[in-house]
């Protein structure tokens, strides 16, 4: 079943009738403290697991899609814009605690990322994009909005081994936060390092 229908109530996003929790982390995460590469989804035409993350971001995807439309009403809409979420992708890191599921997602589109850091490698961009920390617990769903880095390889990026450019995430048990590390061409990007608390009162950047 597709997870659709975002309702915004008092600053909290509630996903109506959604099976996203089961999709985002289907099995118990036995070692959440281990550093793991984040997973990426293409949201242009989301299918399968990507549908859950497209649903999580539907309001911002709609916003980005509207910005992609031509400002002149007399100009025909390009079909690449009219169909699908143009240029949209996300990365995510999810944890199943058995009693609740937590998923951190960062969305990249041509119109929503607000800043960019210098990259040590030509063809690899380090963008600052919207993030959402979704928590599913006791049949309830809530989201904390924020921002995080999104590393994007362009067509001219150099050929690298699989460990050269990676975004890692891990759950830090003492601080109850998701920690993020970014490596570009084997260089640690310290200014992107981040700790995302599972509770807003503990949030740090």
Contact 86, 100 (CB under 8 A): no
DSSP H helices, 78-128, are 79-82
Residue 1 lies in a domain: no
Q: Alpha-carbon dihedral of residues 169, 3, 58, 16, nearest 10 degrees? A: -110
pTM over 0.85: no
On whether residue 162 sits in a domain, the answer given is yes
Instruction: pLDDT band for 205, please (50, 70, 90 cuts).
Output: very low
Tokens 């990259």 belong to 119
Q: Give domain status of residue 114, yes or no.
A: yes
Host H or E run for residue 146: strand 140-153
54 neighbors 85 (Cβ within 8 angstroms): yes
Rounded CA separation 183/165 (Å): 5
Range of the domain at 116: 6-67+78-202
Buried b (16+ CB within 10 A) or exposed e, 20-38: bbebbbeeebeebeeebeb
pLDDT, tens only, 59-107 = 999 999 998 765 555 555 554 445 689 999 999 999 999 889 999 999 9
Record the tokens describing residue 73, joined without a space. Answer: 């009403």
Please report the pLDDT score of residue 76 as a whole number: 53
Residue whose tokens read 């200014």? 191
168 lies in some domain:
yes
Domain count across the chain: 1
Provide the 8-state DSSP code for 63. H
Lowest mean pLDDT among 5-9, 72-76, 94-98, 130-134: 5-9
Residues 159-180 pLDDT 10s:
999 999 999 999 999 999 999 9
* 171 occurs within a structural domain: yes
């Amino acid at each position: 079943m597709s997870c659709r229908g975002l309702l915004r109530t008092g600053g909290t996003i509630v996903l109506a009738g959604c099976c996203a929790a089961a999709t985002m982390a289907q099995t118990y995460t036995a070692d959440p403290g281990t550093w793991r590469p984040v997973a990426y989804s293409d949201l242009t035409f989301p299918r399968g697991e990507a549908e859950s993350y497209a649903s999580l971001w539907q309001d911002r995807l709609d916003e980005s899609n509207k910005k992609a439309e031509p400002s002149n009403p007399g100009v025909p809409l390009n079909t690449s814009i009219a169909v699908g979420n143009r240029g949209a992708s996300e990365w995510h890191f999810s944890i199943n605690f058995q009693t609740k599921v937590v998923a951190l997602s960062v969305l990249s589109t041509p119109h929503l990322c607000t800043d960019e850091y210098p990259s040590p490698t030509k063809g690899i961009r380090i963008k600052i994009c919207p993030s959402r920390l979704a928590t599913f617990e006791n049949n309830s769903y809530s989201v904390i909005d924020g921002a995080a880095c999104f590393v994007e390889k362009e067509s001219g990026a150099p050929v690298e081994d699989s460990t050269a450019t990676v975004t890692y995430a891990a759950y830090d048990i003492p601080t109850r936060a998701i920690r993020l590390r970014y490596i570009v061409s084997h260089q640690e990007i310290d200014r992107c390092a981040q700790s995302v608390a599972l509770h807003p009162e503990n949030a740090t950047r």
